[in-house]
């Protein structure tokens, strides 16, 4: 039950982040809904396909569809009250990657996969909805830029498995690992920490 709550909260966060990007691009209502949908379920769908879950999770549980539609409507109705669109997008995107990382890891554990593969699945679940969103919105995906994005997911994943050796309460581990992802990304952006560039010495 707790795992499903985490998954739903991640769905809400990513759906809203998708809506904010679509509104920023001045898309019509259909476009806004599509971007919200692919942002929320894109990473999870790819994860499910890779580990052989058929049909993918959101197709067998209409709760996700209802949550995405409700989140999209909510974000659209309150768009005029969101004064800092970019900051709001960043916040919801960060919460989304934190929650989806642990959701993806847990799915890998249930499938009996190696911890490193579980961490990869968690990172994929967290990041690839945003990748699809950015591609559809004609943006270079954040994960392919210098900005720290996938790294917090990986660190959160390693923290998750470390805590499993120390703490028995799985729900507590979920929360701590998700908070690690969120905190690392927030700190990286606040202090302008980024991966080294391969092109510093090249002339433009």
Residue 203 neighbours by CB under 8 Å, 6+ apart: none
Tens digits of residue pLDDT in 125-170:
999 999 999 999 999 898 887 678 999 999 999 999 999 999 989 9
pLDDT > 90? residue 185: yes
Mean local confidence (pLDDT), 61-85: 85
Q: What pLDDT is recorded for position 84? A: 58
User: What CA–CA distance (Å, rounded) separates 30 from 166?
Assistant: 47
Question: Percent of the chain at pLDDT above 70?
Answer: 94
pLDDT > 80? residue 113: yes
pLDDT > 80? residue 57: yes
The structure's pTM equals 0.89
pLDDT > 90? residue 98: yes
Helices (H), the chain: 2-24, 29-51, 57-60, 62-77, 85-110, 115-136, 150-166, 170-190
pLDDT > 50? residue 204: no
The residue with greater pLDDT, 78 or 166, is: 166
Tens digits of residue pLDDT in 11-49:
999 999 999 899 999 999 999 999 999 999 999 999 999
Q: What pLDDT is recorded for position 86? A: 59
Strand partners, 194: 147
């Amino acid at each position: 039950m707790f795992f499903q709550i985490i998954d739903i909260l991640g769905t809400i966060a990513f759906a809203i982040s998708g809506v904010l990007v679509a509104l920023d691009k001045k898309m019509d209502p259909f476009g806004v809904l599509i971007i919200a949908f692919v942002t929320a379920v894109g990473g999870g769908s790819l994860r499910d396909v890779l580990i052989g879950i058929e049909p993918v999770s959101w197709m067998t549980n209409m709760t996700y569809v209802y949550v995405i539609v409700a989140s999209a409507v909510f974000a659209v109705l309150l768009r005029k009250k969101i004064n800092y669109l970019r900051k709001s997008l960043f916040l919801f995107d960060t919460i989304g990657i934190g929650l989806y990382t642990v959701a993806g890891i847990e799915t890998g554990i249930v499938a009996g996969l190696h911890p490193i593969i579980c961490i990869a699945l968690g990172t994929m679940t967290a990041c690839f909805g945003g990748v699809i969103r950015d591609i559809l919105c004609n943006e270079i995906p954040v994960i392919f830029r210098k900005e720290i994005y996938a790294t917090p997911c990986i660190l959160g994943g390693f923290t998750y498995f470390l805590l499993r050796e120390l703490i028995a309460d799985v729900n507590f581990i979920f929360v701590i690992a998700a908070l690690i992802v969120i905190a690392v990304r927030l700190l990286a952006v606040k202090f302008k920490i980024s991966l080294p560039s391969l092109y510093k010495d090249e002339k433009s």
